[in-house]
Amino acid sequence: MRSAFDFAPFRRSTIGFDRLFDMLENSASGQGNEGYPPFDLIALDDNHYRINLAVAGFNRDQIEITAHQNQLIVSGQRGEDEGIDYIHRGIATRSFERRFGLADHIKVTGADLRDGLLQIDMVREIPEAMKPRKIELGTGEKAGQQIELGAGKKAEPQTEAKKLETA
């Protein structure tokens, strides 16, 4: 099923955003089991997040959580209740699979099942090399030194006055 929006022009003019466009197209197409189980997405602070899924009737052995290539997959498989004669069955016991797209550098740090709620904790861990850093003026390796230009020529460090004169 195609989405209502055509992403082809964007795919042709961008590099590395294929996963984003695939995610947008998949979410626009809709999936039949989207409402079960219900969940909450919580931002605990700027870098910590939590997903709460209502999984009443499932125990720890029946739930599987997998983080793989920027995607979190939570699935539950429940066996049949044999020997029980239900008069009314209102608690859903069907199997489920929920998929959550994770941004780059989001790591799943833990999960816990308590009182029918599955809590999955995540943290954004940005590598030091990608964090913004302030560069102080005049702290370069060659600051204030003559630089070898080649063929025996040397360049003097230019002061602001010399830079303005040559401009």
Q: What is the residue extent of each domain of the chain?
A: 1-30, 33-81+89-127
Calpha distance 92→39 (Å, rounded): 15
Residues forming a β-bridge with 154: 148
For the residues 123-140, what does the mean pLDDT come to?
Answer: 84
Closest C-alpha to 18, from 73, 68, 70: 70
pLDDT above 80: residue 84: yes
- Is the pLDDT confidence value at 79 over 90? no
> pLDDT band at residue 164, thresholds of 50, 70 and 90?
low
CA–CA separation, 128 and 116 (whole Å): 38
CATH T-level topology, domain 33-81+89-127: Immunoglobulin-like (2.60.40)
User: Radius of gyration over alpha carbons of the chain, in Å?
Assistant: 28
Residue that wins the pLDDT comparison between 119 and 104: 119
Q: Which helix (H) or strand (E) covers residue 73, if one does?
A: strand 71-76
